[in-house]
Amino acid sequence: EAGVTQSPTHLIKTRGQQATLRCSPISGHTSVYWYQQALGLGLQFLLWYDEGEERNRGNFPPRFSGRQFPNYSSELNVNALELEDSALYLCASSLGSGQAYNEQFFGPGTRLTVL
């Protein structure tokens, strides 16, 4: 069974540009989560989508946005990139919000570098 996939693996942008990161969950999973892992800060929760809707949002500015498609894949958009947005962006998936105690399965991440 295929795991969570993310693309691209690496992304280099300049300040002020926009970045789009993509995630495909494990088949059968309807929840997708996005996390940011910046150096020295640990994993910070960004967004949670389930059944196409945004369920929760972390403490990030509105220029971080995303969506979930009907096939449950997801996209994270970061507008007006800043240098401190450089980080590993991790996507995770789990069974839907109707299930209890969901373990989350992570993808390999997208390394975003803002120059």
Partner 1 sequence: SQKIEQNSEALNIQEGKTATLTCNYTNYSPAYLQWYRQDPGRGPVFLLLIRENEKEKRKERLKVTFDTTLKQSLFHITASQPADSATYLCALVRGSQGNLIFGKGTKLSVKP
Name the residues that contact partner 1, by CB under 8 A. 4, 31, 33, 35, 41-45, 48, 55-56, 58, 88, 90, 92, 94, 97, 99-109, 111
Please, what is the minimum distance in Å from the beta carbon of residue 16 to partner 1?
27
Nearest to 32 by CA among 54, 12, 1: 54
Write the CA distances from 35 to 1, 28, 58, 75, integer angstroms.
23, 21, 9, 12
Nearest to 88 by CA among 64, 58, 110: 110
Please, what is the minimum distance in Å from the beta carbon of residue 31 to partner 1?
8
**Nearer residue to partner 1 within complex by CB, 44 or 79:** 44
Please, what is the minimum distance in Å from the beta carbon of residue 109 to partner 1?
5
